[in-house]
């Protein structure tokens, strides 16, 4: 039974039993505690925590998940995988233990012909918490399970909590007996390789006040409503039903291994080392496919770094298998074709997915070419010195200079029989990050702990948010906060937070900054500094008290700065216009990956792997302004998320949307149709103008355009006009002739600089004869040690070579020239054949002299060079030349 069919049967079974089928959430669900969705219940957490009211009493889903803690273990065992799918059914105060057990049992033991999974009931074992006699009896009564196949396990295995105060409860796990060839008999308590867990049923029935560990917590009391949360591992069920040994051999994964074997000429199953690499390739290619599909692009931080690591480990594993070609172009289409049955979007979005992945492989191939030799040299030096540890500084240099991530260095070091000073590396990384962030503004962190805001929401209810309909309201101050604590008053000069019963202020979201404005009351006023939504439904205003004292329950007049709002609307609508123009000029795969807009300014990040040409930038700007001139209508309406997608609305990657109601903003009908909660103009002409000011890279596979709108755009153009006017005045020309005139001046300047350089070099070389005639004798060797002020590296090398050629033919000659320019020292040593035959080598001389000059250097016996910064020690270094030559020739 194929994996997609198991998936279909799971959701069909629960839909038939009154559950709403909820589509998988994005892997990038907005949760500050998670890098990726790592469990099937994560999208439902707000319901279980009581933060939100569920839309249904019963739900079922097959959730995409990524776990990254065990990346290094992938392939080494057959249990660790990065991407996986978790099938789940959920009850919110509806059915409880009896229902969960009955639904699970009828699905796994139901006949294949009737839509079940067809497992043999005699091979099923379950575990329960010793104190959960209710679950034990239900398994016996509902499923007919004999007591000897119902085993008890402690809190570590059979109690679930979230690691924080909140819901908890016992759980019951379902195991399948794989047979005696996999281990001893005796159920899960005897062996978990033979008895494989496939499903966990969680019975949320208790409220926990303190959680110290998985098995150490305080129970506050029963939950007001009991819930069910279950998770069935789709890949595990698939390899059991497909008769395979592990998840790497199922129909959605193994074809990639087969292709990798074909490309490499190696055979899967012949040896453990190669098998690990094959499994790494199969897992990481599939995981990367799904991450890119959900909007992740490779980078050096967070999610982007995980994706980069997965892609690069896959590519490198293929190289270790002996395949030197472009691996992802061969392997990723295989994974796409296997996954599209369950996720058709990987096929429709293939152009963008492939562009991102293939560009990353190209970049990594360059990294490998540059860094592998450096690593090999460093490893050889460590071994030659009898060491076993690569220094943290060397690992840091590989990362900082050659782009080698530390995990790659660790892998290569392990393969070379070495360890790495990870503590030293991380210390240097921390120092670098501290320097980089020293001048950065503190991130907004007021809303990290949301308990206080939830208490306000529970007490007063949701804020009546009126930003779409008005700029002013009469409101009541429901709660005042300062320093993370409730207060009764805010006084003059104090910065705090205010929660109003209603507000016209736009709270920062969707890339649009918060409104500016004021709160005024009898006897005082406050400046609104920021507006946020720390929890859904609650709007919080950060304020500074300008005068007076604001007390709780005071009536205030809330007023948005109308000029600010106008500029913000222009910028946000301008962002949609630029996004549509991008897709018109570059194609439909140029999708927004992030945005930021404030009054008069916008920036838009989008997935693209190469710099835009000047013509493309010009075309995007032209298309944008043509749309403004067309005075396109701007409108919005609400609909369900599935309706919006069917309608062709574009959703931002990684954003979380309410399934039942989303806001779709249109500009010119289908020309621009996006999910958006921002404020907008009524007609495109009200944006005023769009002036693109820059186009740049913001990481591998991502580009950024920045633009000005409205008055700010006109001011920018006016400033450019003034610059043109000033230049035309200086150059006595017309604006249309300005570019040609400046080009002529630049060419003349370049010509003059070349002539000056030619004269300078000629003068330098003219002195070579006099310098050669001033050679001193050290034994039978003619020695020149010369200081050349004003000469840089290339000049010094040219002069040393010319002087060497002018020394007497047939006699040994050594030339050392030290140039001093711009506070730096350039050192060159040159020897002829006769000097080298007497044992004088240029490289040896430079190795002695360069440290005196505060630098280093080296080279070949006939020519070597170095540098330094100790200008004051040039004469000291030159004085050593005769001494070193004398040592070499015994004079």
* pLDDT higher than threshold 70 for residue 498: yes
Interval 227-240 mean pLDDT: 95
* pLDDT higher than threshold 70 for residue 659: no
Q: What pLDDT is stored for residue 87 in this prediction?
A: 97
Interval 605-625 mean pLDDT: 92
Q: What pLDDT is stored for residue 31 in this prediction?
A: 67
The separation between CA 730 and the C-alpha centre of its own chain, rounded to angstroms, equals: 49
Distance in angstroms (rounded) separating the CA atoms of residues 347 and 340: 6
Distance in angstroms (rounded) separating the CA atoms of residues 69 and 38: 10
Ranges of beta strands (E only) in 611-747 are: 634-639, 662-667, 672-675, 690-697, 702-709
Residues facing 695 on adjacent strands:
705
CA angle, 560 then 566 then 571, to 5°: 120
Q: What pLDDT is stored for residue 401 in this prediction?
A: 66
Range in 315-324, 409-418, 620-629 the model is least confident about: 409-418
**How many helices (H) does the chain have, and how many strands (E)?**
26, 35
Nearest to 167 by CA among 93, 82, 98: 93
Interval 442-464 mean pLDDT: 72
* pLDDT higher than threshold 60 for residue 392: yes
Residue 680, marked binder:
yes
- Are 297 and 28 in contact, with CB atoms under 8 Å apart? no
Nearest to 687 by CA among 795, 786, 568: 568
* pLDDT higher than threshold 80 for residue 656: no
Range in 236-245, 659-668, 823-832 the model is least confident about: 659-668
Interval 408-433 mean pLDDT: 83
Range in 191-200, 240-249, 386-395, 563-572 the model is least confident about: 386-395
Residue 368, token pair as written in the block: 């490998």
Task: Please provide the average confidence, as pLDDT, over all residues in the chain.
Answer: 90
Interval 121-139 mean pLDDT: 96
Nearest to 827 by CA among 870, 886, 861: 870
* pLDDT higher than threshold 60 for residue 439: no
Residue 65, marked binder:
no
Q: What pLDDT is stored for residue 874 in this prediction?
A: 92
Q: What pLDDT is stored for residue 53 in this prediction?
A: 84
- Are 58 and 20 in contact, with CB atoms under 8 Å apart? yes
Interval 666-691 mean pLDDT: 95
Residue 594, token pair as written in the block: 């992030």
Residue 576, marked binder:
yes
Of the pLDDT bands very low, low, confident and very high (cuts 50, 70, 90), residue 125 is: very high
* pLDDT higher than threshold 80 for residue 179: yes
* pLDDT higher than threshold 60 for residue 154: yes
* pLDDT higher than threshold 60 for residue 441: no
DSSP 516: P
Q: What pLDDT is stored for residue 449 in this prediction?
A: 58
Half-sphere exposure of residue 636: CA atoms within 13 angstroms, side-chain side: 18
Give the SS3 label for residue 217. strand
Q: What pLDDT is stored for residue 444 in this prediction?
A: 39
Ordered DSSP codes for 275-289: HHHHHHHHHHHHHHH
* pLDDT higher than threshold 50 for residue 446: no
Give the SS3 label for residue 92. strand
**CA–CA distance from 410 to each of 72, 367, 393, 414, 553 (Å)?**
10, 16, 14, 6, 60
Q: Name residue, tokens 């920021």.
A: 530
Task: Give me the sheet containing 863-868, strands edge to edge.
Answer: 776-778, 781-789, 812-821, 824-831, 863-868, 857-859
Q: What pLDDT is stored for residue 536 in this prediction?
A: 85
Residue 733 burial by CB count (10 A; 0-12/13-18/19+): exposed, middle or buried? middle
- Contacts of residue 104, Cβ cutoff 8 Å, sequence gap at least 6: 174, 199, 201, 230, 232
Of the pLDDT bands very low, low, confident and very high (cuts 50, 70, 90), residue 78 is: confident
pLDDT digits (tens, 9 = 90+) for 792-819: 878 899 899 999 999 999 899 999 999 9
Is beta strand 83-92 parallel, antiparallel or unpaired with respect to 124-128? unpaired
Q: What pLDDT is stored for residue 443 in this prediction?
A: 34
Q: What pLDDT is stored for residue 440 in this prediction?
A: 36
Distance in angstroms (rounded) separating the CA atoms of residues 591 and 561: 32
Range in 365-379, 652-666, 826-840, 865-879 the model is least confident about: 652-666
Query: Which range has highest mean pLDDT (44-53, 442-451, 732-741)?
Result: 732-741
Q: Name residue, tokens 């949301």.
A: 450
For helices 328-339 and 350-384, the axis angle rounded to 10 degrees is 130
Q: What pLDDT is stored for residue 169 in this prediction?
A: 94
Percent of the chain residues past pLDDT 70, beyond the cut: 96
Of the pLDDT bands very low, low, confident and very high (cuts 50, 70, 90), residue 753 is: confident
Interval 608-636 mean pLDDT: 94
Distance in angstroms (rounded) separating the CA atoms of residues 339 and 154: 38
Interval 118-130 mean pLDDT: 96
Distance in angstroms (rounded) separating the CA atoms of residues 290 and 838: 67
* pLDDT higher than threshold 60 for residue 604: yes
Distance in angstroms (rounded) separating the CA atoms of residues 519 and 550: 10
Residue 786, marked binder:
no
Of the pLDDT bands very low, low, confident and very high (cuts 50, 70, 90), residue 62 is: very high
Distance in angstroms (rounded) separating the CA atoms of residues 168 and 223: 9
Select the more confidently predicted residue: 610 or 188: 188
């Amino acid at each position: 039974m194929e994996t997609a069919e198991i998936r279909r049967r799971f959701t069909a079974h629960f839909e038939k039993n009154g559950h709403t089928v909820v589509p998988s959430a994005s892997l990038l669900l907005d949760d500050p505690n998670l890098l990726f969705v790592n469990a099937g219940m994560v999208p439902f957490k707000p319901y279980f925590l009581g933060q939100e009211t569920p839309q249904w009493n019963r739900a079922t889903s097959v959730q995409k998940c990524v776990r990254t803690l065990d990346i290094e273990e992938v392939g080494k065992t057959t249990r660790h995988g990065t991407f996986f799918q978790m099938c789940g059914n959920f009850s919110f105060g509806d059915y409880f233990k009896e229902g969960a057990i009955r639904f699970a049992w009828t699905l796994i033991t139901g006949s294949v012909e009737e839509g079940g999974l067809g497992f043999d009931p005699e091979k099923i074992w379950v575990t329960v918490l010793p104190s959960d006699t209710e679950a034990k009896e239900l398994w016996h009564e509902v499923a007919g399970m004999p007591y000897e196949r119902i085993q008890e396990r402690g809190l570590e295995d059979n109690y679930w909590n979230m690691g924080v105060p909140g819901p908890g409860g016992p759980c019951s796990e379902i195991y399948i007996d794989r047979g005696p060839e996999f281990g001893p008999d005796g159920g899960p308590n005897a062996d978990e390789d033979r008895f494989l867990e496939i499903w966990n049923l969680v019975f949320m029935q208790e409220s926990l006040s303190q959680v110290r560990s998985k098995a150490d917590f305080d129970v506050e009391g029963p939950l007001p409503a009991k819930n069910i949360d279950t998770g069935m591992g789709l890949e595990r069920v698939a390899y059991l039903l497909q008769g395979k040994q592990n998840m790497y051999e199922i129909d959605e994964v193994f074809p990639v291994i087969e292709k990798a074997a074909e490309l490499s000429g190696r055979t899967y199953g012949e040896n453990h080392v190669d098998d690990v690499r094959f499994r790494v390739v199969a897992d990481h290619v599939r995981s990367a496919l799904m991450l890119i599909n959900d909007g992740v692009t490779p980078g050096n931080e967070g999610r982007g770094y995980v994706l980069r690591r997965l892609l690069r480990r896959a590519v490198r594993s293929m190289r270790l298998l002996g395949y030197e070609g472009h691996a992802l172009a061969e392997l990723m289409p295989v994974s796409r074709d296997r996954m599209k049955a369950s996720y058709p979007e990987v096929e429709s979005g293939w152009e963008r997915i492939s562009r991102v992945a293939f560009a990353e492989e190209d970049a990594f191939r360059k990294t490998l070419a540059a860094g592998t030799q450096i690593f090999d040299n460093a490893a050889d030096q460590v071994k030659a010195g009898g060491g076993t540890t690569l220094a943290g500084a060397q690992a840091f240099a590989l990362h900082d200079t050659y782009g080698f991530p530390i995990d790659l260095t660790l892998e290569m070091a392990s393969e070379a029989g070495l360890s790495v000073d990870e503590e030293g590396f991380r210390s240097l990384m921390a120092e670098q990050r501290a320097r980089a962030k020293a001048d950065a503004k503190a991130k907004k962190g007021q809303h990290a702990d949301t308990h206080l805001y939830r208490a306000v929401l529970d007490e007063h209810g949701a804020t009546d948010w009126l930003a779409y309909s008005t700029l002013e309201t009469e409101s009541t101050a429901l709660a005042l906060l300062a320093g993370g604590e409730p207060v009764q008053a805010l006084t003059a000069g104090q910065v705090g937070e205010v929660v109003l019963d209603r507000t016209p202020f736009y709270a920062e979201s969707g890339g649009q900054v918060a409104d500016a404005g004021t709160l005024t009351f009898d006897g005082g006023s406050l400046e609104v500094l920021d507006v946020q939504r720390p929890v859904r439904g609650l709007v919080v205003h950060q304020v500074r008290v300008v005068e007076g004292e604001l007390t709780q329950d005071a009536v205030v007049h809330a007023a948005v700065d109308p000029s600010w709002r106008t500029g913000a609307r222009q910028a946000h609508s301008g962002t949609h216009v630029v996004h549509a123009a991008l897709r018109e000029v570059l194609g439909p795969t140029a999708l927004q990956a992030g945005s930021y807009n404030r009054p008069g300014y916008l920036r838009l990040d989008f997935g693209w792997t190469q710099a835009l040409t000047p013509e493309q930038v010009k075309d995007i700007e032209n298309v944008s302004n043509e749309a403004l001139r067309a005075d396109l209508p701007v409108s919005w309406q609400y609909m369900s998320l599935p309706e919006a997608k069917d309608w062709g609305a574009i959703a931002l990657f990684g954003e979380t949307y309410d399934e039942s109601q989303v806001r779709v903003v249109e500009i010119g009908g289908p020309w621009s149709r996006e999910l958006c909660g921002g404020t907008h103009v009524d007609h495109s002409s009200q944006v005023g103008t769009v002036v693109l000011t820059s186009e740049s890279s913001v990481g591998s596979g991502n580009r950024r355009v920045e633009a000005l709108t409205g008055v700010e755009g006109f001011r920018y153009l006016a400033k450019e006009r003034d610059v043109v006017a000033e230049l035309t005045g200086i150059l006595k020309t017309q604006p249309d002739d300005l570019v040609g005139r400046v080009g002529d001046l630049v060419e003349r300047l370049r010509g003059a600089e070349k002539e000056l350089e030619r004269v300078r070099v000629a003068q330098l070389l003219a002195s070579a004869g006099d310098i050669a005639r001033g050679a001193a004798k050290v034994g039978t060797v003619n020695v020149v040690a010369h200081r050349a002020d004003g000469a840089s590296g290339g000049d010094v090398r040219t002069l040393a070579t010319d002087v060497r050629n002018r020394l007497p033919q047939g006699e040994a000659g050594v030339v050392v020239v030290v140039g001093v320019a711009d506070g730096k020292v350039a050192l060159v040593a040159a020897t002829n054949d006769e000097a080298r035959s007497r044992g004088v080598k240029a490289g040896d001389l430079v190795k002695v002299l360069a440290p005196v000059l505060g630098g280093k250097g080296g080279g070949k016996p006939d020519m070597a060079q170095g540098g330094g910064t100790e200008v004051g020690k040039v004469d000291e270094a030159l004085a050593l030349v005769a001494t070193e030559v004398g040592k070499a020739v015994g004079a």
